[in-house]
Amino acid sequence: MTMTNNIPQRSTVLNIPARAARAGTLAGAAIALVGTFLSWTYTDEFPGDLTVTGYPGGLQLLTLTGALLTLVFALSALGVPGLRWLTPGGPLGAIRFLALATLGTTAYTVAAIAVTLDGLIALDPGAWISLVGSLIAVLAALGLPADSPLIADDPPTTWYRFRHSLRGPTPQPPTRPLPAWAEIVTIAVSLGLTLYVFTYGIDTEYSELFIGFLILVVLGAFGLARAGLLHRLTHLTGKHRNVTVAAAFIAAICFPFTQDNDTYALIGTNILIFATVALGLNIVVGLAGLLDLGYVAFLGVGAYTAALLSGSPQSSIGVHFPFWLAALTGAAVSLVFGIIIGAPTLRLRGDYLAIVTLGFGEIFRLTMNNLNGNSGPDVTGGSRGIPNIPDLELAGFKFGLPHDIAGFTLGRSGNYFLLMLVFTAIILLVFHRSGQSRIGRAWVAIREDETAASAMGINGFRLKLLAFGLGATLAGLAGTVQAHVSYSVTPEQYKFAGSAPPNSAFLIAAVILGGMGTISGPLIGAALLYLIPAKLQFMQDYQLLIFGFALIILMRLRPEGIVPDRRKKLEFHEKDQLDQPEERLPEHATGVTKAGA
């Protein structure tokens, strides 16, 4: 006796006929798209001027983008020639996430207009049309048949079907490999689009636009991941690693040339500083497994060393080293501090080590605050710090002045961005070579089980001290550039926690959220954690609260990080299989019946 008669052949969240669901998704996305070409409000008091008919602007462009992507992926699900390559992992999850992104952006815009102006009465028909269209698209997408039929003895719950439909099948590498030149072009185009999206986010002129951009990008990224495009891109970048690295640096070099506003270029420079420091911490936390809660102090050591040696009128030393010598000195002093702190403390493990490193971070901040001439020798200027740090000059190139290069004007922040990009390349090379060496494998062994590593002959203390010292050196190197970018250094810049990075709490969060033990993970995590507070200054009093909620949600949905290490991904998701209802094949497919069993 077989069970095929009672087995559902498709899994949907809403009980909608498949044909109606497909038509509703296409119609809803099209209606939302049409609404963006109509006026959304009667006054231009709302940022972005949404009063123009026939020419979308501001937040309307985000809704238009989400609706257009939803349409394209829905057509791909219908098998339209030329679009099937967009969904190697199945279109269902992509369509639903993109429809949610469109609805989220549109609903946020409607709410922002109502709050900013005179309530819902301030909305013109275009806003209602896009809102209704995006809602129809979401509801219809929830009725689409699953990419892979969910088969079980008992009908699954609606919540489980919703989770399963969003996850979709596991994407696989392309079965038909592209020519090598086409793969390289795909990588270059993808990195160019990434640069464009990143630049658009930094260049947003008002907070409402940035929040809408954030909603669209986050949900859209989930959609692209469910479609399998990110998995396919990862496969290509791993295959052409050298080409990917070169293309990434070329895209990064292009960034300052796209910025007309030096303020936005400064955000990019600070993101690079924060990201490189997070990458140095990744050696300590991600590779060696040492929880360092005072790591930002090493950034301060390098910054203070450069400030004292770079010719500032307020420097108590009164010397002026060339920058390359000041940078090496800052890195060396940070290394010394790392060894001094690590030698007596790295025999501790776990929480005890974390408490000691937290104490070191606070001791550094308080010491810099007390070396003011009253509580101690006048070395660091106390709470006022060391101001008036002069701009750099290397080989006649003055970093404080704008320069015209190939018809583009490169401002002060752009100059420092390119300098910091060189430092980032150095730190990336050190991290990569260290992680792939015998020492790197020993660090991973210590991270996984220090007792077992010691039993295999690994000198845990010496290797942990090496990781601690190397991480401190890289942080000090980045600190020497930070001192010149910010013009001054003060003790309050190097706290454990605060409303904005850099601080130790945000650095650790950048490593964990981005992906411990990976190269690109901390860079992405640091970019997000710096960019979001920098663009949402009006929410400064609530940033830590919002950050806490976001951290909880991300750790629940993706505990291995945005760019997971393969070991961490298996570790976190191997147990999740126990939480899911068992999925079985129909008995006629296996040739086994209940009677036969």
Q: What pLDDT digit, counting tens, does each position of 250-289 carry?
A: 988 988 888 877 888 888 888 889 888 888 888 888 888 8
Give the pLDDT confidence of 493-513 residue by residue, as tens digits.
888 776 666 778 888 888 888
If you average pLDDT over each of 99-108, 113-122, 267-276, which comes out highest? 99-108
Q: Which residues pair with 489 in a beta bridge?
A: 386
Closest to 468 measured CA to CA, from 361, 337, 320: 337
The amino acid occupying position 420 is M
CA dist., res. 251 & res. 13, Å (int)? 41
Average pLDDT, the chain: 80
Task: Point out the least confidently predicted range of 115-124, 539-548, 583-592.
Answer: 583-592
Residue 13 has a pLDDT of 59
Mean pLDDT lowest among 444-458, 461-475, 541-555: 541-555
Q: What is the pLDDT of residues 403-433, one digit of tens each?
A: 888 778 888 888 899 999 988 888 888 888 8
Alpha-carbon Rg for the chain in angstroms: 27
Whether the per-residue pLDDT at 175 is higher than 60: the answer is no
Q: Which of residues 4 and 68 earns the better pLDDT score?
A: 68
Q: Report how far residue 298's alpha carbon sits from residue 364's, in angstroms, rounded to the nearest whole number.
A: 9
Provide CB contacts within 8 A for 248, sequence distance 6+: 191
Record the pTM: 0.79
List the domains of the chain with CATH numbers.
4-173+206-234 (1.20.1440), 259-564 (1.10.3470)
State how far the Cα of 248 lies from the Cα of 205, in Å rounded to an integer.
Answer: 26
71 band by pLDDT with thresholds 50, 70 and 90: very high
Residue 307 has pLDDT above 60, yes or no: yes
- The pairs formed by 311-317 with CB atoms below 8 angstroms and a separation of 24 or more are 311/390, 312/386, 312/387, 312/388, 312/389, 312/390, 313/388, 314/381, 314/386, 314/387, 314/388, 315/386, 316/378, 316/379, 316/380, 316/381
Hey, what are 459's tokens?
Answer: 């000198």
- Cα–Cα distance measured from residue 203 to residue 197, given in angstroms and rounded to the nearest whole number: 10
> Max CA-CA distance within the chain?
92
Task: Give 569's pLDDT tier (boundaries 50, 70, 90).
Answer: low
For residues 380 and 308, what is the distance between their CA atoms, to the nearest angstrom? 8
One DSSP character per residue, 302-357 reads HHHHHHHHBT-TT-SS--B--HHHHHHHHHHHHHHHHHHHHHHHTTS-HHHHHHHH
Provide, rounded to the nearest whole percent, the portion of the chain with pLDDT above 70: 86
Least confident of 151-155, 307-311, 328-332: 151-155
Secondary structure, 3-state, 350-389: HHHHHHHHHHHHHHHHHHHHHCECCCCCECCCHHHCECCC
